[in-house]
Amino acid sequence: MPLDIQLSTAAVISLGALIQGVTGFGSALVSMPLLLLFLDAKTAVPLVILNGLLITGYLCHRLKAHLEWEKIGPLFIGSLPGVIAGALFLKEADESAIKLCLGAILTGYSLFGLSGGLQPISLSRAWGYVAGFGTGAIGAAFSAGGPPVIIYTTLTGWPKDSIKATLSGFFFINGIAIALAHIATGLTTGEVVGFLPTTLPGTLLGVALGSLFYGRMEKGTYLRCIYFLLILMGALMIYSSLKGD
C-alpha cells in the first residue's frame, strides 16, 4: 500500500478518534465518508472497527470507575434480537424512506435539545432493552445503529461521565462482536491488518487528546457536542436517502 494512502488513512482515523474521545461516539461517522474517498468499503469498514476497539477500550479504561454493567447489559442484550430483526426487515424495507424518517427524527430531536426543550426524564430499565433493540435493528439494516442508545442515555439525566462510560462500554462489546464476525467471514484481510501499525498510534493519540478536551467540559457543553453530532448523522442519512444510496 502506498505511503501516502497509509498516512492519509492514519490522519482520518485519528480525527475520528479525537471526536469519539470527546463525545464517546462518532469515530466511524467522521472517518468513514472520508476513508471511502480513497479506500474501498471492504477495507475501510473492518479497519474502522479494529481501530474503534482501541478507542472504546481506552475510554472504558479511563472511565472504569463510572462503568455500570447494569446499565450496559440491557442495551447489549436488547441489541441481539434487534440485529436479527433489522436483517430481516432490510429484505422488505424501503431503505431510502426509512433513512429519511430516521434522519428527520435525529435532526429534530437534536435541534429541540439544543433549544433547551429537552429535560431529563425517569426511564425504567426496560427502556434500555428497547434502546438496545433499536440500535441493533437500525445497525443491521442501515449501518447506523448508535442513535437509539445515544438518545436514551442523554434523556436519563445521568452525569456526563456515566453517559460516556455507558456508551463506551456498549460500543466496545458491540465492536468485539462485529470484529469477530468480520474475521469469521474473511473481511479482516492481511491488507486490513497491514494498516494497523500506521493507524494505531494516531488513534491512541487522537482519543487521548479528545479525552483531555472532554475532561474540561461541563455537562451542558458535552450534551451540545452530542446534539451537533446527531444533527450531522441525521443530515447524512437524509442526504443518503435523497440520493437513493
Distance CA 229, CA 23 (A): 9
- Res. 144 pLDDT band, cuts 50 70 90: low
Q: Is the CB of residue 44 less than 8 Å from the CB of residue 186? A: no
Quote the CA–CA distance of 217 and 74 in Å, as a whole number.
Answer: 28
Weakest mean pLDDT among 55-69, 195-209, 231-245: 231-245
pLDDT at 193: 94
Contact 223, 167 (CB under 8 A): no
Residue 140 has pLDDT above 70, yes or no: no
Report which residue type is found at 148.
Answer: P
Distance (Å, rounded) from C-alpha 176 to C-alpha 174?
A: 5
Q: Strand, helix or coil at 218?
A: coil
Residue 245 pLDDT greater than 70, yes or no: no
Residue 67: the pLDDT is: 94
Residue 142 is predicted with a pLDDT of 59
- The three cell numbers of residue 171 are 460500543
Residue 143 has pLDDT above 60, yes or no: no
With pLDDT > 90 as the criterion, what percentage of the chain qualifies?
A: 41
On whether the CB atoms of residues 28 and 147 are closer than 8 A, the answer is no
% of the chain at pLDDT higher than 70: 93
d(Cα 83, Cα 69) in Å, to the nearest integer?
A: 21
Residue 21 has pLDDT above 70, yes or no: yes
* pLDDT tens-digit map of 38-47: 888 889 888 9
- pLDDT tens, position by position, 149-175: 988 998 888 999 999 999 999 999 988
107 vs 101: which has the higher pLDDT: 107
Cβ partners under 8 Å of residue 239, min gap 6: 103
Cα 106 versus chain centre, distance: 14
- Cα–Cα distances in Å, from 65 out to 61, 62, 153, 162? 8, 8, 17, 9
- Determine the pLDDT at residue 181: 83
**Distance of CA 84 to CAs 74, 99, 138, 139, 140, Å?**
17, 19, 10, 10, 8
Q: How many of the other CB atoms lie within 10 Å of CB of 164? A: 26
- Joined together, the cell numbers standing for residue 148 give 437509539
Show the cell assigned to 98: 426509512
For residue 37, pLDDT over 90 is answered with no
